[in-house]
Chains A and B, each alone.
Chain A
């Protein structure tokens, strides 16, 4: 039976099965791990290889120059570069979570490469101390690193995305520690990295803030490694024991005595269940219970810990050592009679057209759903596609007999496996297990694929898994631009647009920005033309120097903020005259500039108006300035006649008179200056500072009130005040001074051009009934008479006057005025009745 052969490859560690399928035969030719320093990225990532300069190796037919080569997990070379860095030996090399290869050399310089072996500038220096003391050893985790120097000082880069080296507390060591490892920041209380140093018989925990002594007496420890979840520490003691301790050193979880006291070359966790020790030729797997499993190797290997097992890289193959998943055990364990095994068996019988298939199904009827589930799950854990297929077929076969089973579970698994199989192929070489894939997530996987320039696959996967393809297309477009120096702008634009249009809402501006950065300004300009979002488009146009277009686009968008952005940009970059020219050509831009400058850059605005010949606008500005001067008392000091204020106003007047259309303003400015002069004079002669900045009318009024009728007349003639206005003014002024004789005399001077209305109104307003009555009869219009009487509360007289006017409506209104007064209102009622009667007859 096939099932038997499957289980035959398993090894039992106490009660758990382990398997170690080969996932790749390495594609590299004649490769010796021993001669090289190797860095393997987890999650089936790339492998970086460089000749080990700490070993003496024989050179065959090769250059003495060292080469850094990067392979995928199947040993297919992705890229290579010549290593020419100075700074001493390469001390440490590892991949970060972002798949950046970090190489640390003795003098503390950190070089970074991407998967294309392109150096990522800038290089990081670990600082002066490292430079002087020499780095001896490095430990890496996710996105960080610590290193220790010959002077036993520890330095750290907590996050390579933001590489700021810092120094940890001085552990005050005399000798170099026996071993070193770290607890990742995400698992520590402080949120900062903790370094564990094996020193004498104990361990030192070093942090930024201080040093702590832990586990006195457990050691001396020769080798340490922390488990994936940061909770457990596996170590190898000087007397040949494997010791697993909780990382707070409160508890020893288990202990195993090895035959040799020689510390292993490599120590690693296999998932969370067992610890691997590697010496030359022997790989030992130790679990908490039972005898360890021993594997023999006749070539060097490298252990690559993964979340659910360990990949084992040798010169010729890549294996994956993992605990056999429970679902797989339930199916393939020798002699298993669990439902899943019977279902798998049933399919075999079915394929052979044997009736035993039915028998099997009957046996497991009640637990069919769990059997189907187990088959699906087991399929997911398989690397072998034919076995995946068989398991899925078994699931599908069983599913046909189950009514309540989530059918999309099978479909989901097929989808997932398609993705996994695609990336596991030799040319891609990412041997993810299903558990790793789930941990990594599809979007990160897509990110890694596009970083490796596997855009097409990434595109297909994101399409298949329903993720947004924008990331892929965007990256592709940028990569395409970088790689297409030889293609003409127009041709390249066409190629790019063809793909960019696949994705709605993609940011053309971002692609254009990349084109610009790659030195293809013209292409950038062409691309940005396609960007629909002005808020993205305009800043970019500015950065590629397309200022005019930016101004046009900003104006089109109607977003005044964008227009200002462009304006300030040009304003800063260009000489004023050039700026004025550009602004003048765009009405909205011009108006906004003027609005801003009016508030904040007065003088500059004047220059602008002068340059564009808008003299009247300069005049208005000057004229407004003259008012500003009032607020600033310092400026108006000095001789009043030639005061700076009047000068400015006269300057404004001259500018106004330059254009015919502004004759009115010119005249007004002239009069304004004249008025100010007269007011100054008046203040001097009257010794009262009450004239300046009042209106012509007020000046006249003040003169009359002060009894200075000559001065009033002078102002009147000087400003050609009309007869009518003069009467209104003088009457009101006289009433203010309560000079009733003068008022009467004035009324009799001649027939007033305004009629007697001003006299009546002024007296009524002042509440002078007796005076008012003198003038009311002289009013010509009976309506006005009636209203005046009404305002004085004289109902009878009002009614009489109203009846003269024969105005029904007026009567109604008057009645409303007298509404509170019963007697008065009856007068109006009778009158109105009479009127209506007359009107009706």
Chain B
């Protein structure tokens, strides 16, 4: 179905950039609304879930080397149950990506292109992503790797001038209500972390699987670090006002007045965000296309890319009147179910199958090798 090969480092960079995309812009608000001044602990706590998810996926991939989650779910749970849960999982993927698309469309519409119809913005974005996904897994991975320096440089350009405005006293009092607020903040961050589960669709195409676990952990770690630094910067500068702004990062960009000339750099933020959202949506679109093709047993996934992108545009409008909806706890539970619970159950099922299935003749090969 897909004959491309990518490297472990490329998968790590791709996942990290995809997950960081939306979280940078809106996570500070969400976390600070429950955790207030202790929000800087939330990324560290949330990263445990991230590490767990990634570890589960790599272990599952070691047990079933060339198969994605949909395929070994069909094998572990049997065909009828596997296909049903697979379709639900695909709905989950499409839902999350559609949420991201909607957030992005609202952001662009509210801040820059006020009168452009939302369909034009969303449609043009999804068309570019469909183009990338149709180029195959190598294009997706290479694209993320190519744009990594651009994103890093632009983010640094936005952090550097704000250093002089940092006010460390905003963080006091530290942990005044115990660990509960950071935990609640970490729970809110679960809107973004389960996206690491999409990584499983790329693991079968990795050529050097030996270092996969290291790179995967590295990707989660870098995500944590970036989120941590962002939270610190945002809260140090904006203080208690953070929960008020929908996009604190943008407010940070507006603060920059290094010289008279470098003002109003929110357009720069927008450009960085467009690039990151493209990566995020291709991450999801490729997963959904390959997942659907494997779930239904189709030989090719490329023809499905355009219909699935149409579904995504549709889902980004259906029933969502206000993007705040997306951060509600029910949605977080939904994400956690499919992002964490499903791989966990599958992993336990595969352990049980290996333990009890050793007596029977196992026809499938198991590629076990040490990490």
Whether chains A and B associate is no
Q: Which residues of B contact A (CB under 8 A)?
A: none
Q: Which residues of A contact B (CB under 8 A)?
A: none
